[in-house]
Structure 1
């Protein structure tokens, strides 16, 4: 990580710039993949499994026997850990969800209310490859379970033997998901968008992924299928003062950097000494990481920025709009109240981002690449439609009708006015 000391305000935009993605090359590849899946269906998916995952599959859907066997392959310790995470995530998401809203009498005889209605068919994408994210199954499967979606489809790539990671299958079963398919990448998104002989088309697609998955999701939106949010590479920003433990700060930066070579980590501090000591700790901790090369690539996109005050750090953080924000300062709790933009905030020296990634209860599917300015992380609300209802009785339409007639007439929409006038006339005659 390069250290920048007391940059001028005009440098803010360039210093907080995210890594640029090769969009044209990605777009061309994804367009080709989508076209093949639309034309050839399952045949294309099987061919892509052999090409990208080196796996020769006989069928795409995971059998009940494979799901059952997965549980036997996991240690009791891991299963207990997944259960703990499940309970915390379920507890938090259920508490934050409102299914039925109160009926509001906006005026005598006029009732309005809102209800959360589950989206009928949803698709969950779970990355595999170098890091099979079974934790993401919890983050997506639990809200879907609470929402009560009619059909939940899960897609994930396999290993070279044609097996989805057993922790993914075990966690899916825990979340009540049994419709699981062996396909990954942009082709999985295409399958859930358009449907194939085996995989049904869905109404909304959830889940993180690389640049190819992200672009495929963007194109799915254009095809009329909703997605959870736009996304880019994962990121963390840390605000730390001179009292922060440099080993903690370095560990948190590396925890995010190991996600992928295009991840970005940012340290904002008012202490030159801290920035330098954190750099030393990063170099020491990096040596023992199995994903050292991945983290090193991410660190090339990353920066330590020394500003004049912690308050200035907050302003720079809001400008960056981080996916994850860690506040490791003496006054972290009060400082968190001044944050205006972030995907998820981690307060205090002991609250590492790893807690939220796995088991604290909050969701780790969050807006990246600056989208925290206008998108929220996944919640149960992401899996439902908020449908409004209204009901008028005779008193209500008599009181409200004249106002609607006047407004419709002013807009030149006489059929709208007539729909009210006919009813008022009939009530008057009766």
Structure 2
């Protein structure tokens, strides 16, 4: 007995699991005034070919849901006269009209009342996968180039594309949630690009939009990223109370309780915020929790593309560097800087520039002026100096160097580097 590959393909295109299909059919039956008669087992029999021609009410619900005759779903009539049944009886037509007007049933139209042309479109997981492949490219660009306005603009535009896919066709609950999650992911990348570019007002607007989209998606993974980014945003804005509150939202999401790697990132970012407030005890405690969680994490498990530097531990070390630097623990900061640099992937050029700039500050704090100036010069002469977060750190180095040793030869050497760089920023 052959299975029903046509139905299986239609379900895959719509992003429907067996349970979701059963629920959608039952919902349609109940709205039409009938009992819910479809179970997971019923759907399995359809897919296995054991049931070649469903009961009339189930068949009508299937036809209304997928907007096509039952024969186009791989079902075979018991007798030639039964072909007439697949012409969609009146109650199925009424149900189809109801489905087109309803936002809660099966493959409901997202974004308002659909035109007849729009009603023919179905949105599936292939659309989601196509968009997420673009998300990976955005993350890679962020790692390589940092907070450019072009990256922010591209990410925001792709979020709009994800929402337009929702608006032009019908989608299952699963696909609809995935598309909202996709839009939230792109918006969170736009938010991070704005943070990296120190465009904080713009970042706040992206955060508001991203948080709303993530809530509609129900995806706690992207919710974690967005609230964790919010903590970083407020930390960079010197608003530690807001930063701690936002990061607490991320740390208490189910994904952080379920996956120690997410928990590790949450604790490490909490430590960096405590470093900003000067609370050394809380910062050390948070870093200890980050280490413990990281040791428990199953690193071989698949994670989102934006977690790459966390899985390699490079980002955990970078946050520890930031924490110790803020607390004035310069030797510890230097040690974490070298660890982070050793763990960063070759494509993570923006992070390498940020860590190197902080390393220069850690060396300066230890009065190792020659090494500090040489290290800062590699950033000044690099291609990523124009990233505002990197420029801000080098400006801080410049000011600290002149306060520390205003007459030393190292200061004169640094001033020559600045003049020869042609940056024209001081």
What's the TM-score, normalizing by structure 1?
A: 0.23
- Tell me which protein shows more helix as a share of its residues: 2
Bigger Rg over Cα: 2
- Structure with the bigger percentage of strand: 1
Question: Could you tell me the TM-score, scaled by structure 2's length?
Answer: 0.23
